[in-house]
């Protein structure tokens, strides 16, 4: 973003002026080219159509560059980065998302460090191969796996966290890449892009005192194929009979339920407590320790593949891109 000093509001930034704002880019020992959307948008307006555009840019340019850095607003960065991690098959180059909390041009902006270091991480090589071969987010000295990342602060420079997976790297006097936690793809898998997406899903966060009418209306949404439920703790809900009956009925009608935890860390363990037995009964899908952003992105991606219900469940509960930790259920 850049500040409009007349209105004092933040507006989408014209990337053509990037070098003017960050002249240090010309000092980096890499050949850098850049492109941008014809009409820059606020990241709050991001949608799966834009994810497709990003993936197609990757596809068109993949063979020409050693790595890619994507400048993105922070509000939906973790959603877009997670989505790209699923859409890019056979990825063996770095794709690093970054942005800033303060706008480019602001005296105290964090944009310069985030962008310059992202480019350095994207250009790292070992034995003439990219050191990083996955989709990441770099922010405030930390390199994180994209589909393990969530935004935790609207105020602090340290805006993102990876609650259930170690940082992939750190920027200090030197760039530290932690090889033992990096993901590598089978070299035999050729790079390809899958842009089939479907948004027939919903997201329901459970809270004490939820009304029956509200829940019934949400589940009555037309064309709804999947409902992600963010449950308490390790996957628990209130035990009202009407709610259990509603879940049984919708499951019998073919709706799929994904159970996530609304806790910042930890994972779902369906069946650990009696209050999660209904999820076991209806064959709900376990979200394990997926972040909300990764869960939404993975659901949109898998729905786009038009899989049979059992295969959808199998794929969702499988670690496809390093996004989840599997735990045997009770």
Q: What is the mean pLDDT of each run of 10 residues along the chain (330 residues)?
A: 66 64 77 84 94 97 96 96 98 96 82 92 94 97 98 94 97 95 93 98 97 97 97 95 97 98 94 93 97 98 98 98 77
Asked if 157 and 63 sit in the same domain, the reply is: yes
Does residue 324 belong to any structural domain of this protein? Answer: no
Contact status, residue 137 vs residue 151, Cβ threshold 8 Å: no
Percentage of the chain beyond pLDDT 90 is: 80
CA atoms within 13 A on the CB side of 68: 27
Q: Are residues 280 and 206 in the same domain?
A: yes
pLDDT at residue 327, as a whole number: 67
Are residues 290 and 214 part of one domain? yes
Q: Is residue 327 part of a domain?
A: no
Domain end residue (candidates: 149, 165, 193): 193
pLDDT tens-digit readout, 128-158: 999 999 999 999 999 999 999 999 999 999 9
- 323 within a domain of the structure (yes/no): no
The three-class DSSP label of residue 278 is helix
Question: How far, in Å, CA of 317 to CA of 273, rounded?
Answer: 20
Question: Per residue in 163-203, pLDDT tens?
Answer: 999 999 999 999 999 999 999 989 999 999 999 999 999 99
Q: According to the model, what pLDDT value does residue 119 have?
A: 94
Distance CA 63, CA 44 (A): 31
Give the structural domain span for 242.
201-316
Distance from C-alpha of 259 to C-alpha of 11, rounded to nearest angstrom:
37
Domain count, the chain: 2
DSSP state of 8: T
Instruction: Assess whether 121 and 241 both reside in one domain.
Output: no
Question: CATH number, domain at 27?
Answer: 3.40.50.1170
Note the pLDDT of residue 4. 66
Note the pTM of the prediction, 2 decimals. 0.93
Pairwise CA distance, residues 47 & 17, whole Å? 25
Which distant-in-sequence residues (6+ apart) come within 8 Å of 330 by Cβ? 269, 270, 271, 272
Q: Are residues 180 and 261 in the same domain?
A: no
């Amino acid at each position: 973003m850049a500040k409009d000093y007349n209105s004092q509001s933040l507006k989408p930034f014209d990337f053509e002026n990037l070098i003017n704002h960050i002249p240090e880019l010309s000092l980096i020992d890499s050949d850098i080219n850049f492109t941008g959307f014809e009409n820059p948008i606020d990241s709050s307006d991001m949608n799966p159509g834009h994810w497709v555009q990003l993936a197609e840019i990757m596809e068109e340019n993949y063979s020409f560059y050693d790595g890619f850095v994507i400048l993105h607003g922070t509000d939906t960065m973790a959603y877009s980065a997670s989505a790209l991690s699923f859409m890019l098959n056979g990825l063996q180059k770095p794709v690093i998302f970054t942005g800033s909390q303060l706008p480019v041009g602001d005296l105290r902006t964090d944009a310069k460090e985030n962008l310059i270091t992202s480019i350095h991480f994207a250009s790292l090589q070992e034995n003439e191969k990219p050191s990083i071969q996955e989709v990441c987010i770099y922010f405030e000295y930390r390199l994180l796996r994209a589909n393990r990342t969530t935004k935790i602060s609207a105020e602090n420079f340290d805006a993102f966290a990876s609650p259930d997976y170690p940082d992939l790297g750190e920027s200090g006097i030197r760039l530290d890449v932690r090889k033992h936690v990096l993901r590598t793809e089978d070299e035999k898998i050729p790079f390809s892009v899958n842009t089939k997406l479907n948004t027939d899903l919903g997201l329901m966060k459970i809270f004490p005192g939820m009304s029956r009418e509200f829940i019934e209306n949400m589940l009555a949404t037309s064309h709804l194929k999947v409902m992600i439920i963010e449950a308490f703790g390790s996957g628990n809900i209130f035990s009202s009979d009407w709610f259990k009956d509603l879940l049984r009925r919708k499951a019998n009608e073919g709706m799929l339920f994904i159970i996530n935890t609304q806790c910042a860390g930890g994972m779902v363990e369906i069946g650990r407590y009696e209050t999660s037995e209904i999820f076991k009964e209806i064959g709900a899908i376990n979200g394990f320790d997926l972040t909300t952003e990764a869960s939404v992105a993975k659901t949109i991606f898998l729905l786009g593949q038009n899989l049979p219900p059992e295969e959808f469940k199998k794929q969702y509960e499988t670690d496809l891109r390093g996004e989840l930790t599997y735990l045997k259920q009770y």
